[in-house]
Amino acid sequence: MPKQRAPIRMPRSRTEAFSDGVFAIAATLLVVEVHVPDVHQPGLAGTLAHALREEWPSYAAYAVSFAVIGIMWVNHHATFDRVARVDRALLFLNLLLLGVVAFIPFPTAVLATYLRYGVDADSRTAAVFYSLVMLAAAFAFVLCWSYLGRHQDLLREDVEPHAARVALRRSWVGVAVYVVTIPVALLNPYLALATYAGLALFFVFAERPARDADD
């Protein structure tokens, strides 16, 4: 009677509903940090058209973070789709992951703000900070899959034993990828932004073989 000994009665569906809510809100809140330029402010000159073009780092950071949160939502679903029941530890590992995801609007806003000032120490710092938060999110997936690998009774019966190992290995790839973006951020924060965008596009377009491997 594995279902009756469940130590906490949180059904997977309600965990998913709460998680979907956090992912959807975090993605939608990103726009709050894109500010209306005030060209009528004393001391400022130029047209709105110019000011809107100057804000391109905000749009780029918005697009990249929206894509990243969307991809993490897809990954989150792929993870919980294999889970049969949620115990207390998995519940709090999931909250840890959600806490990092919900924080993403902040490093996004920092990156968008400091990319406006060109390549300097501060824009490098902003890009490293962004990389570190992404790293934390990737690591939260590692923690989830590491725990699921050690508690395979939480997984659905039709999930093959090696699936958790494959998923854990792929989570570590996510960590490694964001570790690599740190020296890129130190070199050139614009290149780092392009790298984040490229990683998102790579995941969307090119990851099919890896996905098939463990499906």
Residues that bind its own copies (CB under 8 A): 7-10, 14, 16-18, 20-34, 36-40, 47-49, 52, 62-63, 66-67, 70, 73-74, 77-78, 81, 88, 91-92, 95, 98-99, 102-106, 109-110, 113-114, 117, 121-122, 125-126, 129, 204, 208, 211-212, 215
Cα angle: 132, vertex 138, 6; to 5 degrees: 135
Report, in Å, the least distance between residue 210 CB and its own copies.
12
| Closest by CA position to 64, among listed 99, 27, 90 | 27
Say if CB 26 and CB 84 are below 8 A apart.
no
Q: Identify which of residues 91 and 194 has a Cβ nearer to its own copies in the complex.
A: 91
Separation of alpha carbons 177 and 134, rounded Å: 10
Q: Identify which of residues 8 and 187 has a Cβ nearer to its own copies in the complex.
A: 8
Report, in Å, the least distance between residue 138 CB and its own copies.
18
Report, in Å, the least distance between residue 173 CB and its own copies.
18
Q: Report DSSP state, residue 33.
A: G
Report, in Å, the least distance between residue 142 CB and its own copies.
19
Separation of alpha carbons 176 and 165, rounded Å: 16
Report, in Å, the least distance between residue 137 CB and its own copies.
14
Cα angle: 46, vertex 47, 48; to 5 degrees: 130
Q: Identify which of residues 120 and 153 has a Cβ nearer to its own copies in the complex.
A: 120
Say if CB 100 and CB 136 are below 8 A apart.
yes
Question: What residues have CB less than 8 Å from 172, skipping those under 6 apart?
Answer: 142
Report, in Å, the least distance between residue 177 CB and its own copies.
19
Whole-number Cα distances in Å, 126 to 99, 120, 132, 147, 190: 20, 10, 10, 32, 11
Place of tokens 């330029």: 37
